[in-house]
A and B are shown apart, each in its own frame.
Chain A
């Protein structure tokens, strides 16, 4: 990788982190409504993963989607505007935090019904195969989502039809307040792929380089006809499930322990240790990220509300 590429990964991670910290403040001020699920702590997962995709590869995920959106190339401006419900947001203010998407960037959305987007990923991949397009569909979901029927139907069908899907389970140890071992018969989630005869592995999601390199390799295998594979990426959300989570289900020490493995901290040490970048250069990136986020807030605040006619637009394609 070129130095610029290394720095770009860093930049994406700090933009996501900063954007969400600011979003949390805006939520407290009442400028963002609904649910706000922060990705803080998990940035290395989507940053590494999406950096390995080609533009023709499709991405689809759940409602914890701010990071994925940024990694897929949606601007901080459009993400922030969507959070504020403005018409300049990527979903025109209609979707909010849980429903970011930009089809032109092959990002097929955040989806808020747990597991519901997995069967859709099967269809996205089928569309590509049907038309002889050499693309992989990357479908991300949480550990909690592996307990709903949708997952099992989707994994099975993708294997039966041998479709190019990379199933990515972001195991952040909890689905809301329920720890993996309290909800799943097997704690090692990758084992669920075995029942469908599907190749699988598990990796550390706090290390962006490990995620990227694994994803590059597996995506290549799938592109070359391996059929669907499942990748479990272990990670942790540093914040509550969404805003206002009393967090009675975990101890502060556990959170602190994981925070010592902050993916941004790990990557900083990696870059400095390998002399890819200096501390000063990374601080400069932090400053740039801050500017990007502040500009995004200004853009979002200055953007117009959707017009009343927007309420009736997009119910159908045709009148």
Chain B
């Protein structure tokens, strides 16, 4: 195993899949000559050439639309949307086309399509460029939504996404690219739709994903020093949502906190807590707490932005409330 950054892990998965399958190709803004806005595809253009690493105009609707069309012909496009904020420009193609075609035409059409994008705030990019609207996309049946929190999962899940015959929205976090972790070499696959225990503990369950995994891990370290043992479940895939590890954990701890970066209203925490209440209500000893972004568009000012984003202290406070 090598210690890789998230960027390296994602890049490696893409590279290996392109080497393995000539039908895999990349399209998006600045993916080629520039090497990717987040440098994920650095070196790809020189190695794989302009046919397979296709720079596009600033045309999100056409990027996703063309990727859908190419996927329908049997190719395996990996479309890159520079950030999830620009996915709104391509919303129709994501939710009305990609998520629907297989079902609506009675299973005739197959779209082995991946849309890679970045989500998350914390970089002072202000309201339109800092959103974490992951939950919105997980609303639509027909679309798979993956959002890894560790380099190993990023590699394994991206490979699984590229090999999947369903459209997958693959959400990377813009502030996790430098995060390091052990990553298995070679053909490492993490199945889509499986949550995982990232830390074992007996007192309380934190359910989280993506960047908030890192925040929750830090909170858990501090809580451990105070004698509170936290179990952390990383959802990894938002749709299809795997609740089994969550239920198993809560049956042991009887307490749950859900940590997400996006807004609380109609969010991941809302969905997860509803499923817990619906299905294992008897095991819950204290009202579930949700940690999420304050209900405001994110401001530019650094202090205000940090106030709005979930912090380690917020997670600690929420855990103490359920104890």
Contacts and interface: CB of A to CB of B under 8 A. Distances in A.
Contact of B123 (A33, A86, A93, A184): A33
Contacts, number: 118
B299 A178 contact: no
B89 A96 contact: no
B85 interface: yes
Contacts of A98: 125-126, 129
Contacts of B200: none
Nearest to A98: B126
Nearest to B82: A176
A85 B307 contact: no
Contacts of B1: none
Given A144-B57, A178-B33, A312 B123 contact: no
Contact of B296 (A99, A148, A311): A311
A305 interface: yes
A306 B304 contact: yes
A34 B174 CA distance: 13
Contacts of A34: 123-126, 300
A85 B302 contact: yes
A93 B124 CA distance: 11
Contact of B300 (A85, A149, A175): A85
Main DSSP-derived SS at the B contact region: loop
A271 interface: no
Nearest to B56: A183
Contact of B29 (A95, A112, A178): A178
Contacts of A6: none
B29 to A, nearest CB: 7
A87 B62 CA distance: 40
Interface string A189-213: 0000000000000000000000000
Contacts of B304: 93-94, 306, 308, 310-311
A285 interface: no
A175 B37 CA distance: 13
B81 to A, nearest CB: 12
A7 interface: no
Contacts of B126: 34, 94-96, 98-99, 112
B30 interface: yes
Nearest to A311: B304
A308 B124 CA distance: 16
Interface residues of A, number: 38
Contacts of A3: none
A238 B89 CA distance: 30
Interface string B55-81: 111111110000000000000000000
A177 B300 contact: no
Contacts of B127: 94-95, 99
B294 interface: yes
Contacts of A113: 85-86, 89, 128
B171 to A, nearest CB: 19
A132 to B, nearest CB: 33
B300 A99 contact: yes
B175 interface: no
A93 B57 contact: no
Contact of A93 (B34, B55, B301): B301
A298 B205 CA distance: 50
A93 B35 CA distance: 32
Interface in A283-317: 305-306, 308, 310-312, 315
Nearest to A315: B296
Contacts of B313: none
A305 B301 contact: yes
Contacts of A95: 126-127, 300
B297 interface: yes
Interface of B: 29-30, 33-35, 37, 55-62, 85-86, 89, 123-129, 294-297, 299-304, 307-308
**Shortest 5 CB-CB distances between A and B: which pairs?**
A96-B300, A33-B124, A147-B57, A34-B124, A85-B301
6 contacts: A93-B300, A115-B58, A144-B58, A149-B89, A311-B307, A315-B295
